Amino acid sequence: MAKREPSGREQPQDHGTVVQVTQHAEFFSGPIPHPALLREYDAIDPGRARKILDLFEEQSRHRMALEKTVVASDVVRSWAGLVCGFVISLAALAVAGWLVYLGHATSGAVLAGFDLASLVGTFVYGTYSRRREREHKTALIDRK
């Protein structure tokens, strides 16, 4: 073994000291505070946790009522659109029939053709749009 020359400064020797570090992490996510925080609120102001929970419940009821209103109005608007489209289409077909009756067969046929083509186009486009929307929602769900 080689002999070491003293350097004037001795290095501390490692005697196998073991250091253990423990770390605790906690994460909470939700619409209301963590129960421990609610207890702290109650400790500061008795009854505050109940007020926070009541406020959350009131907000939830309000949001659900708004969602019901939106869905109901969407249904009414959808039916109104169908009825208006039906009335306009019938009016165009009536005018086309009247034109044919008056002897303007070409004009009546063109008007009737445009009317029927626009109806078919609307239904095809609607079907295509709904399918794309369903595929998009499915893709979003699959990513989660």
pLDDT digits (tens, 9 = 90+) for 57-88: 999 999 999 999 999 999 999 899 889 989 99
Count up the domains in the chain and report the number: 1
Specify the pLDDT at position 82.
Answer: 86
The letter for the amino acid at 52 is I
| Predicted model pTM | 0.54
Residues in the chain: 144
pLDDT digits (tens, 9 = 90+) for 39-55: 999 999 999 999 999 99
Residue 25 maps to a domain = no
DSSP 73: H
Residue 15 maps to a domain = no
Residue 23 maps to a domain = no
Mean pLDDT of 4-29: 73
- Cα separation, 137 vs 144, in Å, equals 11
Specify the pLDDT at position 14.
Answer: 63
Q: Output the average pLDDT for the chain.
A: 87
Measure the CA dihedral 71/73/76/77, to 10°: -110
Residue 89 maps to a domain = yes
Distances (CA, A) of 9 to 13, 16, 107, 137: 12, 21, 110, 71
Residue 4 maps to a domain = no
Q: Is the pLDDT of residue 24 over 70?
A: yes
Tokens of 123: 């239904």
Residue 1 maps to a domain = no
Per the listing, tokens 């209301």 go with 32
Domain of 136, in residue numbers:
35-143
pLDDT digits (tens, 9 = 90+) for 111-134: 999 999 998 888 888 888 889 988
Residue 41 maps to a domain = yes
Residue 21 maps to a domain = no
